[in-house]
Structure 1
Amino acid sequence: MAERRRQRPGPAAPAIVWEPEVQRAMRDFSVREAHQSLNGLFKPRLAVYWADFLCSYVVAVASFWAVGPLGGLTAGGAAAFVVSVLAVFRCFAFIHEIAHFRAKRSFNRFRNGWNIIFGIPMLVPVFMYDCHGEHHNRRFYGTGEDAEYLPLARMSLWSSVQLLVLPLMLPLFGPYRFGVVTPVSWFVPRVRTYLYRNLSSLKIDLEYEGRLPKPEEKLNWRLQEAACLLWMGTVAALVATGTVSIGRVWQWCALFAAVAVLNSARLLAAHRYVGNEEEMSVVEQMMDTVNHPRNRPLAELWAPVGLRLHALHHLMPGLPYHNYQLAHDRLVSALPPDSAYRLTESPGLFASLGRLVRESRAHQKAGTLLPARAAKPARGVPSDERAVR
């Protein structure tokens, strides 16, 4: 199977220049010692996952339904809609945990349950996030094999703005992907290749090309696709018979768009995006990532299920989300104030977005911006090796 052969024109991106105090902190930081200080925190508790997800799901469904009787244009209806957005966002965030623990057999029931209850009805089945493993691979993070990374700090501000604007169109993606392209792909092999390469990965790099399913994955992926198509057909029939109003469909579209925009804002704040499209060590990945330890109740709304402590996650990707706070507290207590880990902290969402804006403007002023759609160099990695581990 042919891999990407994209080459970015022009000279290579400048090397990452870390501040002197950051360089010293990185040299002194020991990943092994940090890992040892978190002994006993790496076992996921499935009861916590089920309770959190199901409670969030009930809140999401109840608040979504409440918009109707309250009236979408009333204060109560607007409040119910906001609650439904936040609850759906929290439900959606569990796909991140599923991607990390998919190799654990004990996680199969939760993976399948989440997919049936939430993933398929939202037209985001779990296989579409199989690419996430590349985002944590030392060889692939920040390179052309990373679907979730662009060197945004080295690109124009418009590139970041696009990530907030384009999600408004995402409610159309699911119906197009599963309602139009999917059934055609069952009969036209060329369309099937296009489908899996271009329309089967959750990504911010629009030039990223995904992999085709392995032989043992084909049936499972197609069953998920068929379930999404069946769900869409059921909803269409309910609307056609008047059982479900068209207003509810528009409400779902608004909900999906709001969740997508919120997630894009979180993504922009999750990393510094100072990479130069070359490989990074674990410590460099941590320094390129951001923790938001302050205002935990508020941060949990826009970065749920542990995503607010994203630098911790990149340092210890095998840590279950329900132990993040305890792990963070242990590291803060064990490490000196000038530790590299402490340097990943940000006061909040807007502070992180502001830093990204300043760094982009600094590169613009210095004349070192990358092209708006920089094609990252391909690594020529076999598809099996790029699969989520």
Structure 2
Amino acid sequence: MDTLLNTKPMTKVTATVPLSKITDDRDMLRMAAKLTRDLSTPNPVIYWTDFLGSAAIGYAALAGAILVSSPWLAVACAILSVLALYRATLFIHEITHLDHSRLPHFRLGWNLVIGAPMMLPSFMYEGIHMIHHTRTRYGTVEDPEYLPLALMKPWSLPLFLLTAILMPVGLLLRFGILGPLSMFSPRLRRLVVGRFSGLQINPRFERRDPEGDFAKQWRWQELGASCVAIALIVTTLTGILPLKAFLIYMGVISGVAVINQLRTLAAHLWENEGETLNITAQYLDSVNVPDGFLPYLWAPVGLRYHALHHLLPRLPYHSLGEAHRRISGALTQDSVYETASYPSLRAVIARLAVNTMRKPRR
């Protein structure tokens, strides 16, 4: 610990030093692992209670938004539905990191309650997100979840957010039309799997066909989402499902997508130019927003500690707050660890926006 406490401060080093030139702070890595060794076991009670409670509130509020006659009450119900279902949906991130033997049937339960109804099965993230955590792929052209947004033109940021509004339409087309049709066309199937089967933001990333047990998971998850999408299309076109109910449902999914896209903007600094980065550099390109109440709403399920998550990706979400307290308490305020903490969502987005206005731009 003494070695770490005396390390040279690197406050906001990423503002002047390229990420690829940063050396690994091995003392910090060892200390973080040592202090959190007892926090790696997921608590089933917390997981199931949090997930099912969030989903129940979300669906109840959705029903309220559809059924109540008061416009103001309907809007309030819709907002509550978006926030609750957003929280429930973000457990997809936990599913990608879980040792499923420690939390049996959670993936199945999540897909039945959220994945299929929201047309967002977990295979859309599984097999994608772990590439983002790969030591040699983070921030490179092979990373499906990374774009150098800070190096792009200013209009890239609003465009990035606006695309999320159309996400429910895209999911409806993917699972209601393209997915079923691709079963009869190998060429279309390759396109659907490669381009339209992952929550990726890198347009150059192309997904490979699933294999083994994951392929079995993929099949039943896709079947469930397709059944929901086809049912929505058919019942709306035939008038069985009122157009108002359909639009509110799609609007809630769109709201979930927009908040998540905003959170994604604040998850990293997006300043890597495609170079391979070490763990410390990846950490410094990522963001913690540990203080305040609002991060519990826009970055729930532990994602307010996104930089810490990149440092210790195996920690369950309910352990991240305690891990942050332990590590922060063991280090000085000018340590490398504190460099990744920012005061608010606004501060992170403002930094990103300012960086897009600098030249040269992509």
TM-score for both structures, normalised by structure 2: 0.90
User: Given that residues 29 and 339 in structure 1 are in contact (C-alpha distance below 8 angstroms), is that contact kept between their aligned partners in structure 2?
Assistant: no
Q: Which amino acid aligns with 1:123?
A: M
Q: Determine the C-alpha separation between the residues in 2 that align with 1:217 and 1:185.
A: 19
Q: Which of 161-170 and 208-217 deviates more?
A: 208-217
Paired residue for 1:88, among 57, 82, 85?
85
Equivalent position of 2:274 in the other structure: 277
- 2:340 equivalent to 1:344: yes
- 2:204 equivalent to 1:227: no
Paired residue for 2:319, among 320, 323, 328?
323
User: Given that residues 29 and 340 in structure 1 are in contact (C-alpha distance below 8 angstroms), is that contact kept between their aligned partners in structure 2?
Assistant: no
User: Given that residues 25 and 339 in structure 1 are in contact (C-alpha distance below 8 angstroms), is that contact kept between their aligned partners in structure 2?
Assistant: no
- 2:76 equivalent to 1:98: no
User: Given that residues 332 and 342 in structure 1 are in contact (C-alpha distance below 8 angstroms), is that contact kept between their aligned partners in structure 2?
Assistant: yes
- Indicate how the Cα distance of structure 1 residues 196 and 176 shifts in structure 2: closer, same or farther if over 3 A, else same: same
The runs of 5 or more residues in structure 1 that have no matched partner are: 1-15, 371-389
Equivalent position of 2:354 in the other structure: 358
Equivalent position of 1:265 in the other structure: 262
Shift, 1:222, TM fit: 2.2
- 2:294 equivalent to 1:302: no
Matches within 5 A, 1:173-322: 173-236=170-233, 238-239=235-236, 243-295=240-292, 297-322=293-318
- Indicate how the Cα distance of structure 1 residues 217 and 97 shifts in structure 2: closer, same or farther if over 3 A, else same: closer
Shift, 1:39, TM fit: 2.1
Q: Determine the C-alpha separation between the residues in 2 that align with 1:145 and 1:24.
A: 21
Shift, 1:237, TM fit: 5.0
Q: Determine the C-alpha separation between the residues in 2 that align with 1:209 and 1:143.
A: 14
Partner of 2:197, secondary structure, is: coil
User: Given that residues 23 and 278 in structure 2 are in contact (C-alpha distance below 8 angstroms), is that contact kept between their aligned partners in structure 1?
Assistant: no
- 2:34 equivalent to 1:36: yes
Partner of 1:208, secondary structure, is: coil
Equivalent position of 1:66 in the other structure: 64
User: Given that residues 46 and 107 in structure 1 are in contact (C-alpha distance below 8 angstroms), is that contact kept between their aligned partners in structure 2?
Assistant: yes
Equivalent position of 2:52 in the other structure: 54
Percent identical residues: 36
Partner of 2:103, secondary structure, is: helix
Give the number of aligned pairs: 347
User: Given that residues 155 and 360 in structure 1 are in contact (C-alpha distance below 8 angstroms), is that contact kept between their aligned partners in structure 2?
Assistant: yes
- Indicate how the Cα distance of structure 1 residues 194 and 312 shifts in structure 2: closer, same or farther if over 3 A, else same: same
Shift, 1:37, TM fit: 1.1
Partner of 1:147, secondary structure, is: coil
Q: Which amino acid aligns with 2:173?
A: Y
User: Given that residues 14 and 284 in structure 2 are in contact (C-alpha distance below 8 angstroms), is that contact kept between their aligned partners in structure 1?
Assistant: no
Shift, 1:33, TM fit: 1.6
Q: Determine the C-alpha separation between the residues in 2 that align with 1:115 and 1:310.
A: 24
User: Given that residues 181 and 195 in structure 1 are in contact (C-alpha distance below 8 angstroms), is that contact kept between their aligned partners in structure 2?
Assistant: yes
- Indicate how the Cα distance of structure 1 residues 282 and 26 shifts in structure 2: closer, same or farther if over 3 A, else same: closer
- 2:108 equivalent to 1:112: yes
**CA offsets per residue over residues 171-229 of structure 1, 9 Å max, x none?**
11112111111122112111111111100110111222111111443343222222222
Q: Determine the C-alpha separation between the residues in 2 that align with 1:359 and 1:346.
A: 16
- Indicate how the Cα distance of structure 1 residues 132 and 243 shifts in structure 2: closer, same or farther if over 3 A, else same: same
Q: Determine the C-alpha separation between the residues in 1 that align with 2:266 and 2:144.
A: 17
**CA offsets per residue over residues 246-276 of structure 1, 9 Å max, x none?**
2111001111111111111111111001101
Q: Which amino acid aligns with 2:39?
A: L
- 2:109 equivalent to 1:124: no
User: Given that residues 28 and 337 in structure 2 are in contact (C-alpha distance below 8 angstroms), is that contact kept between their aligned partners in structure 1?
Assistant: no
TM-score for both structures, normalised by structure 1: 0.84
Q: Which amino acid aligns with 2:151?
A: R
Paired residue for 1:149, among 146, 149, 152?
146
Superposition RMSD on alpha carbons, in Å? 2.1
- 2:165 equivalent to 1:168: yes
Shift, 1:236, TM fit: 4.3
Shift, 1:152, TM fit: 0.8
Q: Determine the C-alpha separation between the residues in 1 that align with 2:72 and 2:145.
A: 36
Q: Determine the C-alpha separation between the residues in 1 that align with 2:338 and 2:210.
A: 40
Q: Which amino acid aligns with 1:83?
A: L
Q: Determine the C-alpha separation between the residues in 1 that align with 2:287 and 2:276.
A: 18
The runs of 5 or more residues in structure 2 that have no matched partner are: 1-12
- Indicate how the Cα distance of structure 1 residues 241 and 180 shifts in structure 2: closer, same or farther if over 3 A, else same: closer
Q: Determine the C-alpha separation between the residues in 2 that align with 1:321 and 1:42.
A: 10
- Indicate how the Cα distance of structure 1 residues 352 and 136 shifts in structure 2: closer, same or farther if over 3 A, else same: same
Q: Determine the C-alpha separation between the residues in 2 that align with 1:109 and 1:217.
A: 15
User: Given that residues 25 and 340 in structure 1 are in contact (C-alpha distance below 8 angstroms), is that contact kept between their aligned partners in structure 2?
Assistant: no
User: Given that residues 63 and 84 in structure 1 are in contact (C-alpha distance below 8 angstroms), is that contact kept between their aligned partners in structure 2?
Assistant: yes
- Indicate how the Cα distance of structure 1 residues 63 and 336 shifts in structure 2: closer, same or farther if over 3 A, else same: same
